[in-house]
Amino acid sequence: MNAEKLKRISKKMSYILRHQPDSVGLTLAPGGWVAIDDLLGALKISKEVLDEVVFTNDKQRFEYSEDAMQIRARQGHSTQVDLQYEAATPPDLLFHGTATRFLESIFEKGLIKGQRHHVHLSINRETMIAVGRRHGKPVVLEVNAQQMVADGYQFFVTGNHVWLTDHVPPQYLRELT
Ligand code: HQG
């Protein structure tokens, strides 16, 4: 299937699995899971097409359950759901991509999660530039995760290596130039 069409389905899946499952009559089970058959019915696509979306997705946003009966978005939710991630110890440094226009507010309030469940961080600086560009002129912030852990902050990691935390106060942030 062509890339354009796959992207359209992926966006619809993000909308359903992260934000508005009830828009197609679905409810997320704990962990954020829905039955694959129910999602196929809602999207009116075949399992083959769903496989292609899941496996070719640029950011590996979705995952199947171990029993291959269910699917979920790995992160990025705004709808109320417990993703049941286990706490994990991050590498000493993590990165967050944002836009320069947000810096003043970020250095005042820290990184806040807004509509999402968590602040999203990454070990990969390059990816973070692209994430920042979605909002304006990109800038990458370095997060002193080692100090945050020492100070008792909790982190979670998703299957596609996104690090999640509740809030990053300004003292742990440094602008990279
Ligand atoms: C900023 C994508 C002002 C924050 C990516 C960001 C990611 C503040 C924006 C995932 C702030 C929120 C998440 C403060 C944070 N004042 N602005 N105090 N604190 N911000 O889209 O991190 O393609 O909700 O820096 O890959 O950009 O959706 O979060 O610029 O992993 O799969 O407020 O979304 O993945 O924007 O992106 P977002 P994000 P997907």
pLDDT tens for 71-84 read 999 999 999 999 99
Strand 156-157 with 163-165, pairing:
antiparallel
Of all atoms in ligand 1, which is nearest to the CA of residue 111? Answer: 19
Q: Is the CB of 116 under 6 A from ligand 1?
A: yes
* Closest Cα to atom 15 of ligand 1: 111
Of all atoms in ligand 1, which is nearest to the CA of residue 110? Answer: 18
Model confidence pLDDT, tens digit, residues 37-65: 999 999 999 999 999 999 999 999 999 99
Q: What percent of the chain has pLDDT over 70?
A: 100
Distances (CA, A) of 30 to 26, 41, 70, 79, 161: 13, 21, 12, 12, 21
Q: What is the pLDDT of residue 75?
A: 94
Question: What is the rounded CA–CA span in Å between residue 158 and residue 86?
Answer: 9
Question: What is the rounded CA–CA span in Å between residue 25 and residue 105?
Answer: 38
Q: What is the pLDDT of residue 86?
A: 84
Q: What is the pLDDT of residue 14?
A: 98
Q: Is the CB of 104 under 6 A from ligand 1?
A: no
Question: What is the rounded CA–CA span in Å between residue 56 and residue 139?
Answer: 28
CA quadruple 53, 29, 16, 168: dihedral sign: negative
Of all atoms in ligand 1, which is nearest to the CA of residue 105? Answer: 16
Q: How confident is the model at residue 122 (pLDDT cuts 50, 70, 90)?
A: very high
For range 139-150, the mean pLDDT: 98
pTM comes to: 0.89
Q: What is the pLDDT of residue 20?
A: 97
**Domains of the chain, earliest start first:** 3-73 (1.10.10.970), 93-175 (3.20.170.30)
Q: How confident is the model at residue 165 (pLDDT cuts 50, 70, 90)?
A: very high
